[in-house]
Structure 1
Amino acid sequence: MLDDRLQAVADFVQDDSSVADIGTDHGYLAIELFKTNNARRVIAADLNAGPCQAARRTISEAGFSDSIEVRQGDGLAAINPGEVDTVCIAGMGGKLEADILEVRPEVTARLQCLVLQPQNGFEYLRGWIYDHNWHIEDEKLAKVEGRVYQIIKATQGKKEPLTEAELILGPILIKKRPALFADHVQNNIEQLDKIRQGLRKGGSHTRDKLAEIERRIKLLEAYL
């Protein structure tokens, strides 16, 4: 059984998709996609041998060795163009997730759906999505062990760039205001406040940076 974070990722994958789970770790998401989402094909990929071995063991114990293929490779280097229509990348930094998508444009261009769960760098990742002719179709929040996670579903097609608040908080999250939205906003404010406290100790040469952080905090406070 998946935790709420990975379950939210799985929920964004359409039935009958062909999916690659990049950074599969133990293969739990890959198994869920095959079992519950009726995926036509699931490839579980990871950079390192250890997670690949763990995934093969988990998948074998679940009885899906003939159905889910485990591959060792660096991001989308493990995937051939057109092999899958959906890619899931969960548990990495937002910039790394963007880099993974950017380094193999011949693979990314033939995808229909991206399901991304960044640990940080949310603003960067959302900007990358819109800069590369994708857009955010849906978003969710999930809470695991007190931490709020953001899950992003993106599909192909150019749309208007996001506002600053939408880049930080998420355009669909702002629109839907789900149950964890206030926690989500507060977490972002707290992160900025830590930066503000550090800048206040830096003297006059940090004045401009401090003013910018305070402006962003006020921007986000309007969403509480």
Structure 2
Amino acid sequence: MNESILSKRLKTIAGFLPNQANFVDIGSDHAYLPCFVCTKDKGATAIAGEINEGPYLSAKKNVADFHLTDQIQVIKGDGLEVINDQDIDQVVIAGMGGTLIRSILMRGQERIRNVKRIIAQPNVDAHAVREWFYENGYCLVAEEIIKEDGHIYEILVADKGDATIPYEGMRLESSLLFGPYLLKEKNAVFQEKWYGEREKLERVIKQMHQAKDVNFEKIQLFQHEIEMIEEVLTYD
């Protein structure tokens, strides 16, 4: 598969899969990631999971076109239900909201008992995924924040292990929101994202104050988040 076809986002995810990966890609989006990985690494195997008929058929066609049917299974199903008795070492869930990723992980917990690594790319609410890792014995080992085509993406990588390690000596609430590794680096994309989030929250609070019934409790929560953002953006 031609490398130029794959987005920067998916290439970054592929970089966190080991050689001879044995992974499942949930919501596989035409099986681009499995096709890319398995073309480059003949020892790799994958399951491309899709719930919707159109992308499922498109994934099957791509796998056949790239002559990868011996390495990639395309399975139609909801979330981690596509794993039955197959041996899976890594899980990739990319391109959906963090709360949805968390709910997929929660619902499929029994099926990923032996999984060594989870790579998640939430479009929003990355904190929801970090919280799930923290509460379920997955140690966050790497994070990336990238910008592509005007969108900012966070990629979170967690291995089975002591989930408290990356948060040692840090304020937990803040680290779960911003990401312990991203907080240390605070690169330009990170700053752009959080300046934008602060502006968005300020706009929302302004609108909420104009409502007939003002939800002061929610405003307080948003105000607290703004304070955390300002703390992070102000201090190095």
Change (3 A) 1:136 1:38: farther
Report matched runs for 1:1-224 at 5 Å. Answer: 1-36=5-40, 40-81=44-85, 83-160=87-164, 163-202=172-211, 205-224=214-233
Change (3 A) 1:221 1:128: same
**CA–CA distance in structure 2, aligned partners of residues 38 and 14 of structure 1:** 13
Change (3 A) 1:82 1:130: farther
What root-mean-square deviation, in Å, do the aligned CA atoms of Structure 1 and Structure 2 show? 2.0
Specify every segment of 5 or more residues in structure 2 that has no aligned partner in the other structure, as ranges.
Answer: none
Contact 1:2 1:28 in 2 (8 A): yes
SS in 2 for 1:202: coil
**CA–CA distance in structure 2, aligned partners of residues 78 and 208 of structure 1:** 41
Deviations, residues 187-206 of structure 1 (Å, cap 9, x unaligned): 33233223212222136843
Instruction: Between 60-69 and 113-122, report the one with greater CA deviation.
Output: 60-69
Deviations, residues 72-120 of structure 1 (Å, cap 9, x unaligned): 1111111125611001011111121112112122222110000001122
TM-score by length of 2: 0.86
TM-score by length of 1: 0.91
SS in 2 for 1:165: helix
- Between the aligned residues of both structures, percent identity stands at 29
**CA–CA distance in structure 1, aligned partners of residues 49 and 213 of structure 2:** 49
SS in 2 for 1:194: helix
SS in 1 for 2:207: helix
Contact 2:48 2:73 in 1 (8 A): yes
**CA–CA distance in structure 2, aligned partners of residues 73 and 99 of structure 1:** 15
Structure 1 consecutive aligned stretches of length 4 or more whose deviation exceeds 6 Å? none
Contact 2:133 2:163 in 1 (8 A): no
**CA–CA distance in structure 1, aligned partners of residues 79 and 43 of structure 2:** 20
Q: How many residue pairs are counted as aligned between the two chains?
A: 224
Contact 2:27 2:51 in 1 (8 A): yes
Report the alpha carbon displacement of residue 147 of structure 1 after superposing the two structures with TM. 1.1
